[in-house]
Amino acid sequence: MAVPFFRPELHDAEVNEVVETLRSGWLTTGPRTRRFEEAFAEAVGARHAVALNSCTAGLHLATVALGLRRGQGVLVPTMTFAATAEVVLYAGAVPILVDCDPETLSLDPSIIPSTLEALETGQLPVPADTEVVGVMPVHVGGLMLDIAGLEAETAARGWWTVEDAAHAFPAAWRAGAESPWRRCGAGTADVSCYSFYANKTITTGEGGMVVSDNAELAAEIRSLSLHGLSNDAWKRYTSKGSWDYRIVAPGYKYNLTDIAAALGLRQLERAEAMRLERQAIAARFNDAFGGVDELELPPDSTDRVHSWHLYQLKLRLDRLNIDRDAFLVELRERGVGYSVHWRPLHLHPLYEGLGWRAEHCPRASEVWRRTVSLPIFPGMRDGEIREVIDAVVELCRRHRRSA
């Protein structure tokens, strides 16, 4: 049985909402986009939301709205997708790559002081006098990192935080069993940015959302997403609108369409149900893999609501007679889809060209060579789940290193 890495879960409700949008006569940013923004802000507990055509657009506009300037530095986890750091480069600013927590793979707030010390003493390929102004954490796989630890570091230094929450809807965090839950986006950053790409926890095909409790930041991001205009098309072309507008800033074309928002509205209604489906699959994987000595399970915690966007295993290579890449080849031969999240940024040619080397982020340099992301998605069939389990367990049995 062939098992895809991902398959979108779309119901008749999404199809019907899109058809109604097509028949409404309003296709671009309009009433459905506004409804989607309002519903999403309520879902995460944020005051303001702006729908965009990607999470990357959100990260970019957040840095623009916060005033990121050429030569300034931003701490960015090395374990992330290209977008998180490239938006810093857009401004001519400097991404300062930070090593990961080897268990969660997310940025480890506890090593921020040692990263700054390495910067100041010339141990990183960044000018020692670079002014650090912000940090862009990523909740890898949908498990939120230590928000309290991160807030302590940023507050002490007056930094802003732009949260790459591409994996983290719906997710939540608390400091301990006696502490209240905080949803990702409910004041967990100055700006939080979400992805609705095809394989994310909810999808609009392509799309994203930014949320913030800062009305001025949200308003500037909205204007910047529409060429820096003072009025968007919906406001101008409704019966109560005016044709006139003013260009108030050099902006971009980053808005979300009503066609995409139609998908998002219906997906949002099922977001928690779909999360619970992924959680149930993760539980089955954990039960099956928990006794396999060649595997490390993904972290979980009673102090986290995990979105389970990803299910990431770590191979214990010292207990196997093959490496990760050979393991993946055999998974493919069994018909099981997979991915790797990610080759760390400091090991890509772009950042190697800027002087980054494996020794600058030793944890990520080691652990990424052991990671495997397995299929996990709503609507995954029982036979598909069993096929993934059987394939992984069999490969570990066959390639177990002799004592």
Cis peptide before 170 (omega within 30 of 0): yes
DSSP letter at 400? B
CA 280 – CA 190 distance, rounded (Å): 32
Instruction: Extract the runs of DSSP E, i.e. beta strands, from 335-401.
Output: 371-374
Q: CB neighbours of 316 closer than 8 A, spacing ≥ 6?
A: 293, 294, 295, 296, 370
CA 48 – CA 40 distance, rounded (Å): 9
**pLDDT digit string (tens) for the chain, length 403 residues:** 799 999 999 999 999 999 999 999 999 999 999 999 999 999 999 999 999 999 999 999 999 999 999 999 999 999 999 999 999 999 999 999 999 999 999 999 999 999 999 999 999 999 999 999 999 999 999 999 999 999 999 999 999 999 999 999 999 999 999 999 999 999 999 999 999 999 999 999 999 999 999 999 999 999 999 999 876 555 655 666 667 788 888 999 999 999 999 999 999 999 999 999 999 999 999 999 999 999 999 999 999 999 999 999 999 999 999 999 999 999 999 999 999 999 999 999 999 999 999 999 999 999 999 999 999 999 999 999 999 999 999 999 999 998 6
> Which backbone phi and psi does 262 adopt, to 5 degrees?
-60, -45
CA 32 – CA 40 distance, rounded (Å): 12
Positive/negative CA dihedral, 93, 96, 100, 101: negative
200 tagged catalytic: yes
Going by C-alpha positions, the residue among 255, 201, 264 that lies closest to residue 36 is 264
Is-contact 41 264, C-beta < 8 A?
no
Is-contact 373 392, C-beta < 8 A?
no
CA 191 – CA 313 distance, rounded (Å): 30
First to last CA, the chain: 33
Q: Which of 200, 235, 253, 314 is catalytic?
A: 200
Is-contact 245 236, C-beta < 8 A?
yes
What number of other Cβ atoms are within 10 A of residue 290's Cβ? 9
Q: What is the pLDDT of residue 403?
A: 66
Alpha helices, DSSP H, located in 270-356: 271-289, 324-333, 349-352
